[in-house]
Structure 1
Amino acid sequence: MFQTLVTFVRDRVGFKRIVLGVSLAMLAIAIYVLVHKLKNINWSKVFTAITEIGPGTLIIAGLFTAAAYLTLTVYDYFATRTIGREDIPYPACAIGSFTSYSIAHNLGATVFTAAVVRYLVYSRYKITAPEVVKLCFIAGLTFWLGNATVLGLGFVLEPEVVTPVVEAFGIGGSTVRMVGFGILVALVGWLIFVSQPRKFGRGAWVIKLPSAKLTALQMVIGIVDLACCAAILYVLLMAMPHAPDASFQAVAVIFCASMLLGFATHAPGAAGAFEATLLIALPPLGFAPESVVAAFILFRLYYFIAPFLLALSLLAVRELTSGNRSLDHLKESMAAIRAAEASHEAAKHAAKPGPAE
């Protein structure tokens, strides 16, 4: 019966439509909560808190931002080696990773946007569109493994920091801890699963999964990336007036949950859900709502806006100096990725068993 239900949803409703509907519902709830929370904000206190932050804190936040994006470059370097493209050098991986993530994070539709930008960067190395899609899959897997590890450990060790976000749904700390254990068990199960060579797909779409040893490395890469990102927010929060003695672990768990909820809505820059979650979860730790608003405004400037402008400039200079007609190259890249996605969908449908005769 379960298989019949899955088949009905897949063929008649469509998983993509369900995901889109859930994402829009989450975004609507997040915007409602955010607007409600911002009604009581004293904006003069927000601007005062921002202006009182010392240059030392701003420099440290900038260094953590640089470290976070430096770690992201390892995502693409790891992914290119996993799909067998050792000929793509690290500098190209660094540019591809930085520009794709910076631009995709801000424009939304992350999967498609990041693939197009990567194709723009890597096309001079004769990369194919299916290879770009596989590269994005491996890089995304690194991101999600890191997030799952941090959240699993955080839910087990610091369940109380997530409780304010979910208590409206009748979920308590013990349930959060159980979810954390479930995530960790799933991760162990994944490591066991990939301890043997694994691959899936057909033809040009065959993807070889990283081994257990490389998967563990993926987790470490993802954890370092998230730790650097959370540290940006943490140093900004701790520089606010009358900041409580909050632990980095608690802020990191809240940060990861906020970012994941934001990305789940597919809104540009995770806007809405990210801020709403922070405004729900951080005040119980002792942070004033105005301090939270000041911190996430500065975080957006550091992690989203400044890298976005730098990435656009870098990509524009690279395209103009490459001798390509930039607009035509962009159109070709978008068409190639769309064609690759269509080919992937066709391959998946071809792999489905037909009706019994």
Structure 2
Amino acid sequence: MIKTTLDFLRDRIGLKRILLVVAVAMLATAGYVLFTKLRLIDWAKVWEAIGQIGAPTLLLAGLFTAAAYATLTAYDYFATRTIGREDIPYPACAIGSFSSYSIAHNLGATVFTAAVVRYLVYSRYKITGPQVVKICFIAGLTFWLGNATVLGLGFVLEPWVVTPVVAPLGISGDMVRVVGVLILAVLAGWLFFVSRPRQFGSGTWQIKLPTARLTFLQMVIGIVDLACTAMILYVLLMAMPNAPPAPFVAVAVIFCSAMLLGFATHAPGAAGAFEATLLVALPPLGFTAEAVVAAFILFRLYYFIAPFVLALIVVAIREFTGGRGSLDHLKESMAVIREAEASQEAAKAAAKPSTQA
């Protein structure tokens, strides 16, 4: 019955349409929550809190931002090696990862945008569209494995921190812990699944999954990335006037939940859902709403805006010094990625009858 329903939704309605409706509903809900919360904010206290943050805190937040993006470079380095492109050097992987994530996070449509930027960077190494899509897949897998691990452990160890977010849905702290156990069980099952060589797809779309040892490495990379990113928000929050002694683990779980909900809406910069989740979940820890707003304003400056501007400069310099027309190369990159996505959809459609037979 469940399989029949899922097949109907996928074939008749379309998975992309369903996801779009869900994303729009989530964004609308987040927008309403954010609007109601911000109406009560004393903005004079927000600017006062920002003005009281000292230089050491600002420097520390900058260092954690650099550490987070440095860890992100491992995503692409790992992914290029996984698909057999050892000829792409680490500096290129670093530029590809930093540029794609910085630009895609801010522009939205992350999957397509990140692929286009990566093709811009890696095209000089004669990379193909399918290979770029594979890199995006492996890098995305690293991200989701890290998030799932952090959330699973967080839900088990600190289930109460997300209760304010899920309580309106009738979900208790005990249920949150159960969800955490299920997430960890799925991760354990995935490690067992890839303990033997696994691959899927065919032809140019065939991809080998990382082994269990490499999958564990992916989890570690993802955890370090998320820990550094969460520390940006944490040090800013703890520098606010009358900040409570909130544990880092609690803030990290809330942060990861906020980022995932934000990315699920596909809004540029995860805007709306990210802030709404923080405003709902952080005050129960003892932070004032004004402190939360001040912290996420600075966080956006550190993690989204500044890297975005720097990435645009890096890509522009790389394009102009490469002797290629920047606009023409961008159009070529977009066309290649669109063609690759169309080819992937065609391959899935071609394989579908044989699967059902």
TM-score by length of 1: 0.99
Q: Does 1:107 align with 2:122?
A: no
Cα shift at 1:225: 0.1
Q: Does 1:249 align with 2:232?
A: no
Aligned to 2:203: 203
Cα shift at 1:11: 1.5
In the alignment, the residues of structure 1 paired with residue 151 and residue 285 of structure 2 have an alpha-carbon distance, to the nearest angstrom, of 18
In the alignment, the residues of structure 2 paired with residue 355 and residue 145 of structure 1 have an alpha-carbon distance, to the nearest angstrom, of 28
> SS of the counterpart of 2:353?
coil
Cα shift at 1:9: 1.4
What fraction of aligned residue pairs are identical, expressed as a percent? 76
Cα shift at 1:47: 0.1
Aligned to 2:162: 162
Aligned to 1:228: 228
What per-residue deviation string (whole Å, max 9, x for no partner) do you get for residues 267-317 of structure 1? 000000000000000000000000000000000000000000000001001
Aligned to 1:284: 284
> SS of the counterpart of 1:195?
coil
Q: Does 1:337 align with 2:337?
A: yes
The code of the aligned residue for 1:117 comes to V
Aligned to 2:183: 183
What per-residue deviation string (whole Å, max 9, x for no partner) do you get for residues 155-180 of structure 1? 00000000000000111100000000
> SS of the counterpart of 1:324?
coil
Cα shift at 1:131: 0.2
Distance 1:354 1:209, change over 3 A: closer
Aligned to 2:316: 316
In the alignment, the residues of structure 1 paired with residue 98 and residue 284 of structure 2 have an alpha-carbon distance, to the nearest angstrom, of 35
Cα shift at 1:5: 2.2
Q: How many residues matched?
A: 357
Q: Does 1:60 align with 2:66?
A: no
TM-score by length of 2: 0.99
User: Aligned runs of 1:71-82 on 2, under 5 Å?
Assistant: 71-82=71-82
Aligned to 1:303: 303
> SS of the counterpart of 1:165?
helix
In the alignment, the residues of structure 2 paired with residue 270 and residue 4 of structure 1 have an alpha-carbon distance, to the nearest angstrom, of 33
Aligned to 1:268: 268
In the alignment, the residues of structure 2 paired with residue 101 and residue 355 of structure 1 have an alpha-carbon distance, to the nearest angstrom, of 35
In the alignment, the residues of structure 1 paired with residue 3 and residue 254 of structure 2 have an alpha-carbon distance, to the nearest angstrom, of 36
Aligned to 2:194: 194
The code of the aligned residue for 1:175 comes to M
User: Aligned runs of 1:213-224 on 2, under 5 Å?
Assistant: 213-224=213-224
The code of the aligned residue for 2:4 comes to T
Cα shift at 1:102: 0.1
The code of the aligned residue for 2:193 comes to F
The code of the aligned residue for 1:182 comes to L
The code of the aligned residue for 1:345 comes to E
> SS of the counterpart of 1:156?
helix
The code of the aligned residue for 1:235 comes to V
The code of the aligned residue for 1:152 comes to G
In the alignment, the residues of structure 2 paired with residue 324 and residue 141 of structure 1 have an alpha-carbon distance, to the nearest angstrom, of 32
Structure 1 residue runs of 5 or longer lacking an equivalent are: none
Cα shift at 1:3: 3.1
The code of the aligned residue for 2:244 comes to P
Aligned to 1:140: 140
Cα shift at 1:70: 0.0
> SS of the counterpart of 1:40?
coil
In the alignment, the residues of structure 1 paired with residue 287 and residue 171 of structure 2 have an alpha-carbon distance, to the nearest angstrom, of 23
The code of the aligned residue for 1:288 comes to T
What per-residue deviation string (whole Å, max 9, x for no partner) do you get for residues 240-262 of structure 1? 00000000000000000000000
> SS of the counterpart of 1:353?
helix
The code of the aligned residue for 2:35 comes to V
The code of the aligned residue for 1:12 comes to R
In the alignment, the residues of structure 2 paired with residue 243 and residue 261 of structure 1 have an alpha-carbon distance, to the nearest angstrom, of 25
The code of the aligned residue for 2:330 comes to L
The code of the aligned residue for 2:216 comes to A
Distance 1:198 1:169, change over 3 A: same
Cα shift at 1:10: 1.6
Aligned to 1:34: 34
In the alignment, the residues of structure 2 paired with residue 179 and residue 342 of structure 1 have an alpha-carbon distance, to the nearest angstrom, of 36
Cα shift at 1:8: 1.7
Aligned to 1:152: 152
> SS of the counterpart of 2:323?
coil
Q: Does 1:17 align with 2:17?
A: yes
The code of the aligned residue for 1:61 comes to A
Cα shift at 1:354: 6.4
Cα shift at 1:355: 11
In the alignment, the residues of structure 2 paired with residue 2 and residue 40 of structure 1 have an alpha-carbon distance, to the nearest angstrom, of 44
What per-residue deviation string (whole Å, max 9, x for no partner) do you get for residues 58-110 of structure 1? 00000000000000000000000000000000000000000000000000000
> SS of the counterpart of 1:242?
coil
Structure 1 residue ranges, 4+ long, deviating more than 3 angstroms after superposition: 354-357
The code of the aligned residue for 1:164 comes to P
In the alignment, the residues of structure 1 paired with residue 207 and residue 156 of structure 2 have an alpha-carbon distance, to the nearest angstrom, of 33
